[in-house]
Amino acid sequence: MNEPPLNSTATAELTVAGSDLASASPDSPPPVFPAVLATARMVALMEVASARIVQPFLVAGETSVGVNLQVTHTAATAPGAKVRAEARYLGREGKLFLFEVAAYDPAGEIGRARHTRAVVTTARLEAGAARRRGA
């Protein structure tokens, strides 16, 4: 596999819907989480932006998976707002691909992360998951 050029960037966007809210979590403890963008949803958007940098360099049968994320969620975002994650490729550390990611809504930055991804064989990953299910 080739690797992306240093400082390559990609973005991912969403408009915050009801299903993106912390309050939509079925596991929400009392009191119910607030009706703002869930941290988990922001993280997912950050992963998508990072994966888009690696995707063009994968060969058939490969995918990239997140293995580490150090994240700070600094501002609440209301339903209906547009959120954008911007990822930048920092290089490799052994087999791992390193990214810096920031997320924004119309009022400014809402979160920041350092993210690490690995390239794996999709079939091997899914087979390992199936074995764990049977354990």
Look at residue 29 and give its three-state secondary structure: coil
Neighbours of 86 (CB within 10 A): 18
Q: Verify whether residue 62 is a known catalytic residue.
A: no
Q: How confident is the model at residue 115 (pLDDT cuts 50, 70, 90)?
A: very high
Q: What b/e readout covers 24-34, taking b as 16+ CB neighbours within 10 angstroms?
A: eeeeeeeeebe
Q: Mean pLDDT, to the nearest integer, of 65-78?
A: 98
Q: Verify whether residue 73 is a known catalytic residue.
A: yes
pLDDT of 67: 97
Q: Mean pLDDT, to the nearest integer, of 55-76?
A: 97
Is the torsion defined by CA of 2, 93, 7, 77 positive or negative?
positive
Q: Which of 3, 9, 11, 39 is catalytic?
A: 39
Residues in the chain: 135
Instruction: Reply yes or no on whether the pLDDT at 86 is more than 70.
Output: yes
Closest CA to 76 of 26, 45, 47, 34: 34
Q: How confident is the model at residue 133 (pLDDT cuts 50, 70, 90)?
A: confident
Contact 2, 42 (CB under 8 A): no
pLDDT of 83: 98
Q: Mean pLDDT, to the nearest integer, of 6-33?
A: 90
Q: How confident is the model at residue 121 (pLDDT cuts 50, 70, 90)?
A: very high
Q: Mean pLDDT, to the nearest integer, of 9-16?
A: 98
Tell me the CA end-to-end span of the chain in Å, nearest whole number.
33
pLDDT of 97: 98
Rg (CA), the chain: 16
Q: How far is CA 128 from CA 41, 80, 123, 131, 135, in A?
A: 25, 38, 9, 5, 11
Neighbours of 37 (CB within 10 A): 27
Read off the pLDDT of residues 32-60 as tens digits, 9 standing for 90 and up. Answer: 889 999 999 999 999 999 999 999 999 99
Q: Verify whether residue 39 is a known catalytic residue.
A: yes
Q: How confident is the model at residue 29 (pLDDT cuts 50, 70, 90)?
A: low
- Quote the pTM value: 0.93
